Structure 1
């Protein structure tokens, strides 16, 4: 392994298969301790843990768990995430006195977000620059899975899942106010060129068209439905 390993007590029921393996671990101290200590013993990289503030609304547990997690062997603990999508969001989070911040979905919507935070600016990235990022992604996919039919379609599936998030980004030059909020779903709009309009589409058929620009035609009968299956997608 080459990086930190995360234990993620999440609110999502599927994460623990409805068997207490998600955020319920926060109220199961013995089980949680066994998992953290056990993983820490077998890993040769730092163990980091992401937790919520609590399991129930307005009943916080995190402040009690933090010193225990340190004693159990966690090298770093992240409490939730701040839905960071701009350098302003990052600055606001850092002003609370935390040692660092975690970027989650924001990196799926804006993979150039880290540049914006580092340079403290909004990047009005062009559609061609965004396509170059996608091209790099497909290159890495083909390098990893192979450039045969199976490798191409494996890469395409991951690309399409990513495009189902990327389409939520609204170009800086088209926003009425800055910054864009992470939970804002943009209305239909025309981009400054055809590619920008295509990238803004909420339709899976258009994501497939983008994939064909990079990976060639899809196989006959190809169908794609994003894993999160949002009702807005067709």
Structure 2
């Protein structure tokens, strides 16, 4: 594919920025740079940010989260090199919903020129900031020397960050993990190395690259980084409920928080956080939220067969997360969440602690909790074909009557391990 004239200019400009970038990390930044970082950081202060999510952060889902109170949203990770080549998939990350007031483009790169070029494209598209991915654990990134493997060499990473920050027209943030593996935890060293490199903030996912999502996030380590850092630290990992979010924000010294899988399971977590109130929506209320997502997908992808095909790359997949929702009222689960994150606790279909039995649950509730992949596809199809919220409920109740027992008897066939990667 030939580069367009516009993209060629960006690449040339980025290369020039690369040659101008210092060989060592600059110790002093201009007052304009410091002021820009400070102003941007204030927009993140005390916020719950929608994390960059592989497959999950398409525009309609971000738009739904923004409607539900997400003030700060981020793109799915884009490969900077492909973005500069005008790759259609990567350029889609530059599209911003009308209600996204503070939107960050996350890119994966190990090259200053690519980072600066991507930052200029992001600025032209109206993005608020650029985020450098130093946390993605997936092979597609690591095999290219991108994502979390950049944690291996903090000094080299520092030069990369400083070079991009120096040439970027937007504030730069960096998203990292705690380290490569349990024997190579170095996030405190990395945070220290980046202090004078010009980023406006650093977000830390409290697991190693090797752990992916297998263990609880290490919030003690995140807190240690937050308390020792001269620049804002955003904490990320295992936030599913309002009380977990409040505890992390108040008890760690973090500047703000980030939610990934928690937002996929219950996108109304942003309403809870913004309004400071616990929400325990019933099945009919959740159908309304899911139907709203379908409506937004139709508006973005199109309501015809072509749009449906595009939307269905995402829509059934979302129910792999929606089906995990359970009501975890604070008075019953706050203490348990101190021992182990609720997001990491595999729940039964019913919960006796809130007075549920399998027989007492309405069919619609059982359907929404069903983990069978065929159920997810059928729910998506019925939502897509429904005319409104009430029609969606009727269709799903009929679906539950006809097929739920078979799906429940078939067992749980979804594969939740590595179903999503937070960049």
Q: TM-score range by the shorter chain?
A: 0.7 to 0.9
Q: Higher relative contact order by CA 8 Å / sep ≥ 6: 1 or 2?
A: 2
Q: Which residue, 274, 289, 292 being the options, matches 1:133?
A: 289
Matched, 1:68 2:224: no
C-alpha distance in 2, partners of 1:145/1:70? 42
Alignment of 1:75-154 (within 5 A): 75-80=200-205, 81-94=236-249, 95-154=251-310
What displacement does 1:203 show?
Answer: 0.4
Structure 2 unaligned spans of 5+: 1-121, 206-235, 351-357, 387-413
Q: Identify the residue that residue 209 of structure 1 maps to in structure 2.
A: 378
Residue 134 of structure 2: aligned partner: 9
- Structure in which a larger fraction of residues adopt helix: 2
Q: Which runs of 4+ in 1 moved over 6 A?
A: none
User: Cα gap change, 1:100/1:26 in structure 2, threshold over 3 Å: closer, same or farther?
Assistant: same
Cross-structure match for 1:57: 182
Which runs of 5 or more structure 1 residues have no equivalent in the other structure?
A: 218-227
Q: Is the 1:84–1:106 Cα contact (8 Å) retained in structure 2?
A: yes
**Structure 2: distance between partners of 1:7 and 1:84:** 22
Distance 2:278 2:311 in 1: 30
Please give the alpha-carbon distance, in whole angstroms, between the structure 1 residues aligned to 2:305 and 2:343: 35
Following TM superposition, by how much is the alpha carbon of 1:211 offset from its aligned partner in structure 2, in angstroms?
A: 1.0
Measure how far apart 1:167 and its partner are: 0.7
**TM-score, length basis structure 1:** 0.81
1:159 and 2:315 aligned: yes
Partner Cα separation in structure 1 for residue 300 and residue 150 of structure 2: 35
**Is the deviation greater in 205-214 or in 114-123?**
114-123
TM-score by length of 2: 0.47
In 2, the alpha carbon distance for the partners of 1:125 and 1:142 equals 24
CA distance in 2, matches of 1:92, 1:115: 17
Choose 1 or 2 for highest CA Rg: 2
Distance 2:328 2:181 in 1: 37
Instruction: Name which of 23, 38, 45 aligns with 2:148.
Output: 23
Distance 1:140 1:3, change over 3 A: farther
**Secondary structure in structure 2 of the residue aligned to 1:134:** helix
Inter-partner Cα distance in structure 2 for 1:14 and 1:59: 18
CA distance in 1, matches of 2:328, 2:154: 45
The SS at the match of 2:199 is coil
Partner in structure 2 of residue 224 of structure 1: none
The alignment covers a number of residue pairs equal to 221
Q: Given the superposition, is the C-alpha separation of residues 130 and 4 from structure 1 closer, same or farther in structure 2, using an over 3 Å criterion?
A: farther
CA RMSD of aligned residues (A): 2.8
Residues 26, 32 of structure 1: 8 Å contact kept: yes
Report the counterpart of residue 32 of structure 1 in structure 2.
157
Structure 1 residues 79 and 30, CA gap change in structure 2 (3 angstroms): same
Distance 1:176 1:91, change over 3 A: closer
Secondary structure of 2:179 counterpart: coil
Structure-2 change in CA distance of 1:6 and 1:195 (3 Å): farther
